[in-house]
Amino acid sequence: MTREKIMVMLLAGLVLASAVGIASAHFTMIFPSDSEDTIWDVTPEDYIAERGETKTVYVMWGHPYEHISFNMASVPEVSVTKPDGTVEQLTAEQISVDSMDEDGNPGTFAAYKASFTVDQKGDSVVAVKYEDEGENLIDCTKAVIHCGVEAWEGWDANVGQKTEILPYMRPYGMEEGFVFAGQAMYDGKPLADAPVEIEIYHTLDDGKEIVGTAEEMFPYDPPMVFTRLAKSNENGEFVYTLDEPGIWFVGATMEPETGRNVRGVFIVPTIDAFPPKAAATVNTEELNTRIKAVEEKVATAKEAPGFGVIPAILGLLIVVYLIKRKER
């Protein structure tokens, strides 16, 4: 892709990214984990593997942003495309996971898991096809498992999904604030003018808190900040800024005149900004002691402020500034 083309897409993205969704979206969540007890604590590092490692992915259905779960209505088809292009069909085993329903009640929900051995360096693409009659949707989701230093091959593989997201950006090493761009395809052809939903995952506690805040700040339409909405261009291309660290879901939907909608979803694990912001080196307690000493010196000065007191006052102002800066 040429530099000029990227610039055009980024400029278009500034317009598209301002659009917002009309409702919180259902997504097929693919979360790698070492244990069923920790599946909801997923981080970007969980999408990294060592060669020879057995990787288990958990497949759930729900609203990632609000941490709402639903029972999976059918058995998903799960496969993994290896870095060399070979495809392994995986067996989906039904499990139960603890979560929260749409009314805020705790419950147990039907989900699935599947495992495979990471036997090659590079990028293994886990693909899940899930059909939900109640949502009139066929969901085709992809997640990349990365293995090996500078083994950056396979992340952009076309795995032959009915509706599929082909990423233009490598989906690991993506920092918060980075732009994600891709192309939506349907039956191997660009999917033009398609709705593209973007949503980030929250843990249960974080989801409850942020949803409550959204309802207070935006009572007229809280879901507009849950699910963001963009559109693909005539070539099926789209861009969006992933402005927080976490697990993002990006999905483009083919909406036929008849039959079920078919959506392609790509999962993008986004890391904290790097390098980390420099930590403040000022000791707050020490600064408070200095302030007190300067205040006493100024208060006990019997003569008008002279050359000795003025620097002290300036020093006090600098100290106060440093403290306020540290607090920010």
For the chain, 328 residues long, give each residue's pLDDT as a single digit of tens.
555 554 545 444 433 433 333 345 899 999 999 999 999 999 999 999 999 999 999 999 999 999 999 999 999 999 999 999 999 999 999 999 999 999 999 999 999 999 999 999 999 999 999 999 999 999 999 999 999 999 999 999 999 999 999 999 999 999 999 999 999 999 999 999 999 999 999 999 999 999 999 999 999 999 999 999 999 999 999 999 999 999 999 999 999 999 999 999 999 999 999 998 875 455 666 667 766 766 676 566 555 555 455 555 555 555 555 555 555 5
| Domain ranges for the chain | 3-270, 284-327
Determine the pLDDT at residue 292: 73
Question: Could you read off the pLDDT of 103-125 as tens digits, one per residue?
Answer: 999 999 999 999 999 999 999 99
Q: Structure pTM?
A: 0.80
Element (H, E) at 314: helix 309-327
HEC states along 219-245? Answer: CCCHHHHCCEEEECCCCCEEEEEECCC
pLDDT tens track for 198-234: 999 999 999 999 999 999 999 999 999 999 999 999 9
**CA–CA distances in Å: residue 170 to residues 24, 175, 192, 254, 268:** 26, 11, 22, 24, 9
User: pLDDT, tens digit, for every residue of 33-68?
Assistant: 999 999 999 999 999 999 999 999 999 999 999 999
pLDDT at 23: 43
* The domain defined by 3-270 carries CATH number 1.10.150.130: no
Q: Which two tokens stand for residue 81?
A: 């495309």
The phi, psi pair for 19, rounded to 5°, reads -75, 150
Answer whether 199's CB lies under 8 Å from 176's CB.
no
Least Cα distance to 150 among 131, 167, 128, 172 occurs for 172
